[in-house]
Every structure is written in C-alpha cells, then in structure tokens.
C-alpha cells in the first residue's frame, strides 16, 4: 500500500479527541484536586489543632493513600484516561505511577519484579528533581556566600 493511503487510513481510525475539551477537563479536575488539598489542610488544622505546615504533610499523605488505593482497585486508570493531566500532575500521579508499576510486575517476584520496577516511572521524577535541586541549590549557595 502506498504511504499516503496508509496514513489516511490511520487518520481515519484514530479516535478523535478535541484538544480544547481535554484542556478544560484537565483544568477543572486539576483545580478540584488543588481545592481538595486546601480543604484537607483546613480540616486537619481544625480537628487536630496542628500547625499549617504539619497539616500539609498529613494532606499529602492522605492524597497519596487515596491515589494508591484507587490504583490498586483499578479505578484510577479509568479516571486518568478521562482526566489525563488533571490527575497525573498533582502528587496523585506520583503515587499512581509507583503503585501501578509495582502491581504490573508483581508476578515476576518480590526482588526482580516489585523491587526493581517500583521506581520504573517515578524514578525519573526523583532523579531529575534531586539533580536539579542540587544544581540550583549550589548556584544559590554560592551567590549567598559571595554576596
């Protein structure tokens, strides 16, 4: 088959998704996750009488717990396919990537399955986070020492 014809055929069978609709969904879902974070902080400061800093730690742990549980139940993948970046960019995406990688490779055993694959997707976030934080931290520290 000619290349052009083939490309036309592929185009025809590609699912049509409007980019504008995706963007709006991501905006609304992402915003709601942010609101959930803020509300959790308010609730924890009220109920447990702790400072805002401590409450934000509780909030992050809560969100990670919910995301991990939903991933393990298989619900989160369906939500992600609808909301896309709205759920992948908040900390829930980090928890989702770890849990889903661990569960997918469970059958290959505890060491070469779960152990070596749990950071398969989340590893890049930690690697580039640490390297960039170290680099920018050095820059800032040197500037402060000189100034």
- ∠ CA(18), CA(23), CA(74), 5° rounding? 90
User: φ, ψ for residue 41 (rounded to 5)?
Assistant: -60, -45
**Rounded least distance, CB 49 to another protein, Å:** 18
**What is the total count of residues that contact another protein (CB under 8 A)?**
72
Name residues contacting another protein, limited to 36-55 (CB under 8 A).
36-42, 52
From candidates 3, 5, 19, 111, binder to another protein by CB under 8 A = 19
Nearest distance from residue 116's CB to another protein, in Å? Answer: 13
Q: Which of 9, 28, 50, 111 binds another protein (CB under 8 A)?
A: 28
d(CA 58, CA 40): 8
For another protein, which is the closer residue by CB, 2 or 53?
Answer: 53
Rounded CA-CA distance 118/71 in Å is 14
């Amino acid at each position: 088959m000619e290349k052009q014809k083939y490309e036309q055929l592929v185009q025809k069978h590609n699912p049509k998704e409007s980019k504008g609709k995706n963007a709006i969904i991501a905006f609304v879902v992402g915003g709601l996750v942010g609101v959930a974070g803020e509300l959790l902080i308010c609730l924890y400061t009220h109920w447990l009488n702790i400072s805002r800093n401590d409450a934000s730690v509780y909030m992050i742990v809560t969100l990670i717990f919910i995301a991990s549980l939903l991933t393990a139940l298989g619900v989160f993948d369906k939500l992600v396919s609808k909301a896309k970046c709205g759920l992948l960019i908040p900390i829930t995406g980090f928890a989702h990537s770890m849990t889903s990688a661990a569960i997918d490779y469970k059958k290959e055993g505890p060491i070469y399955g779960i152990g070596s694959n749990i950071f398969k997707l989340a590893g890049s976030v930690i690697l580039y986070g640490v390297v960039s934080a170290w680099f920018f931290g050095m820059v800032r520290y040197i500037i402060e020492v000189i100034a």
